[in-house]
Amino acid sequence: MDLSIFIGGQAGEGIKRGSMLIGKVFNRFGYNVFILNDYGSIIRGGTDYSEVRVSNEEIYTSYNKFDYMFAFHMDVFEKYKDKQKENCSTFTDDKINFDSIIRSVDGQPFMKPSIVLGMLTYLLQIPVDFVIDVIKDDLKEHAPKNIELFMAGYNILKDKNEQHIHLLKGTNTPKPLLYGNDAIGLGGVKAGMKVYAAYPITPSSTLLEFLAKNAKRFNITAIQLEDEIAAINLALGSAYAGVPSMVGTSGAGIDLMGETISLAGAVEVPIVIVDVERVGPSTGAPTYTEQSDLNLVLNVGHGEFPRIVLAPGDIVEAFEVTAKAFQFAWWYQTPVFILSDKHISESAQNVLIPFSNNYPPLIKTFDQEEQHYKRYKLNEDGISPLAFPSMKDIIVHVNSSEHTEEGYSSSDPKNLISMKEKRLRKIKTIEEDFKLMKFINVFGKESDVAVVSFGSPKGAILEAIKDLYIKFIQVISLEPFPKEALLNELKDVKKIISIEQNSFGQFANILESKTGKSIYKRVLKYDGRPFNVWELRNIFKEVVK
């Protein structure tokens, strides 16, 4: 059982909120759920839809072919109707008068998804009381009207004696159903984040909104600043004062943060930076997904300094990678990037997130006995002991200008060399440490064909390799690049297929140059839509043949 439900309409018709409610019902009914939100960058008049995919098997992405289509307007149906599976049931504006149902209970357009939920409940014969309980739980005081609409939807199909099936209760224990951005926020909180600063930009804004809404109970401050430059400078100031801080944005915002990312590298103050990628260049297509900022985050900021770039491949990893990003930023005292994208950050899945894991802050503390604190003390691993203002008998000078061990400005040639080399030693330390950590994932079967990728294509790839003799290597750490681990996994591989969502093949280029291996087939997609399982499967079959 693996079914996909399409709910399409315009902005303002509650599509996103409604798909979450429907997802919740299936989650509690014991199924795996994945929700994709496809929406335009306009407030009215667009054709938005959500796909709620429900399965009793493990699923990792949207399916992009539908068993049920509910469309509040004909144009949204027309636009996507070729994605119907065989026997797809469609309920469009001309068959079901959604507007008049809304009017009949004096409801609002954004409540239309409740009608859909009623129709689905009938079509799949889910117990009505069970669904009503979920609505009550989810919508609280707004539940009564939505329950009326839900019943109206149910009764319309019942009265028509519409063809239905009987979906048995699934066997899964319900799991948290959350968006990737929620997971990133929770990962930060779990790792001790206290300040989150941002400027609104799709698809990262929901991270700011989630953290701002829950700031009190998370014991954090989540604030909006006048621009991305202010956001990252504020966060860096907080970090200098001893408080773990994070900023989040999308590509254009990373451009603006560039000078401060370089500053963070120079002053060796920890900072976690989330880039939720969208389609570029420039304003591009803000609500669609792409992986074209890889080169940017690997290179942004002038001069030479250590950095770490981590790309989660799904919502669970979004949580874990964020929590680890804080540990790395504070241990190595350098910028750490989390490279997400719209498909991870704004999709939802019910997942088992390791909330009980702890990610204690790791900090190299200084020797209290020492008379004279030196912020940039030279040592073997390039990581100097960290101290903060307000600590008794300690003065902390940090300095964007090249500095002495004490933090005073100095462009003396010997000093320039020793500080550069300190940072080079830090890069080396990070590289050596990362060799010991597992920053690739390997899936599938031993084979002489291997798929390599990073980030959100993971989901579609995992499903597409099922039953095929293909190995899938997912790279999580892009900097440092896990060259040795990859070479080891690619030892007996004859054909490498790379998968990424951009047109340059940025990841493929890096992989080839770092490992010296050549890629047999580069699969590049840049239509803003996530990879389809069935499209990838056809490509893979062709190669293993």
Partner 1 sequence: MNLATDRKIQWCPGCGNFGIYNALKTVLEKEIENGTLKQEDITLVSGIGCYGYITNYYHLNSFHTIHGRVPPLATGIKLANPNLTVIGFVGDGDAFAEGMSHTIHAARRNTDIKLILHNNAVYGLTTGQFTPTSPHGFKSRSTPFGNPENPINPSLIMLLSNATFVARGFSADLKHLQYIFSEMLKHRGFAFVEVLQPCVTFNNTYQFYKERVYKVEDLNYDSSNLKSAVDLLMKDDEKIPTGILFRTNLETYEEQVALENYYLNRNEVPDLTEIINEFI
Binding site for partner 1 (CB under 8 A): 24, 27-28, 174-178, 182, 186, 189-192, 194-195, 197, 214-221, 223, 225-227, 229-231, 233-243, 245, 259-260, 263, 267, 353, 355-356, 358, 361, 388-401, 407-409
Tokens 């599976």: give the residue. 85
Q: Are 123 and 89 in contact (CB under 8 A)?
A: yes
Q: Residue 6 — φ and ψ, nearest 5°? A: -105, 130
Q: Are 311 and 297 in contact (CB under 8 A)?
A: no
Residue 155 CB, nearest distance to partner 1 (Å)? 29
Give the C-alpha distances (Å, rounded to integers) separating 511 from 292, 324, 478, 486, 498: 15, 23, 10, 9, 9
**Helices in 160-196 by DSSP H: which ranges?**
180-190
Nearer to partner 1, 97 or 219 (CB): 219
Residue 70 CB, nearest distance to partner 1 (Å)? 24
Residue 425 CB, nearest distance to partner 1 (Å)? 23
Structure tokens at 360: 């204690």
Nearer to partner 1, 192 or 528 (CB): 192
Residue 393 CB, nearest distance to partner 1 (Å)? 7
Nearer to partner 1, 239 or 461 (CB): 239
Tokens 């409740």: give the residue. 114
Pick from 528, 516, 522, 502: nearest CA to 452: 522
Rounded Cα–Cα distance for residues 143 and 29 (Å):
19
Rounded Cα–Cα distance for residues 28 and 112 (Å):
21
Q: Are 20 and 350 in contact (CB under 8 A)?
A: no
Structure tokens at 87: 């026997």
Nearer to partner 1, 189 or 344 (CB): 189
Query: What DSSP line would sit under 293-353, residue for residue?
Result: -HHHHHH-SSS----EEE--SSHHHHHHHHHHHHHHHHHHTSEEEEEEEHHHHT-EEE---
Residue 74 CB, nearest distance to partner 1 (Å)? 35
Pick from 323, 292, 330: nearest CA to 528: 292
Give the contacts of 47 (CB within 8 A, at least 6 positions apart): 8, 9, 10, 40, 73, 75, 76, 79
Nearer to partner 1, 175 or 425 (CB): 175
The total of other beta-carbon atoms located within 10 Å of residue 321's CB is 24
Nearer to partner 1, 223 or 298 (CB): 223
Nearer to partner 1, 269 or 452 (CB): 269
Type of residue found at 369: E
Nearer to partner 1, 106 or 393 (CB): 393
Residue 104 CB, nearest distance to partner 1 (Å)? 32
Please report which helix (H) or strand (E) contains residue 216, including its range.
helix 215-218
CA angle 59, 490, 448 (to 5 degrees): 75
Rounded Cα–Cα distance for residues 501 and 443 (Å):
20
Residue 142 CB, nearest distance to partner 1 (Å)? 16
Nearer to partner 1, 291 or 349 (CB): 349
Residue 190 CB, nearest distance to partner 1 (Å)? 6
Nearer to partner 1, 238 or 474 (CB): 238
Nearer to partner 1, 326 or 481 (CB): 326
Query: What DSSP line would sit under 340-370, residue for residue?
Result: EEHHHHT-EEE----TT--------B--TT-
Residue 46 CB, nearest distance to partner 1 (Å)? 28
Nearer to partner 1, 131 or 177 (CB): 177
Residue 31 CB, nearest distance to partner 1 (Å)? 13
Dihedral over alpha carbons 36, 41, 45, 50 (to 10 degrees):
0
Nearer to partner 1, 6 or 196 (CB): 196
| Inter-axis angle of helices 128-139 and 112-123, nearest 10 | 150
Give the contacts of 86 (CB within 8 A, at least 6 positions apart): none
Structure tokens at 289: 């997904």
Nearer to partner 1, 6 or 179 (CB): 179
Residue 232 CB, nearest distance to partner 1 (Å)? 8
Residue 195 CB, nearest distance to partner 1 (Å)? 7
Residue 161 CB, nearest distance to partner 1 (Å)? 34
Residue 116 CB, nearest distance to partner 1 (Å)? 21
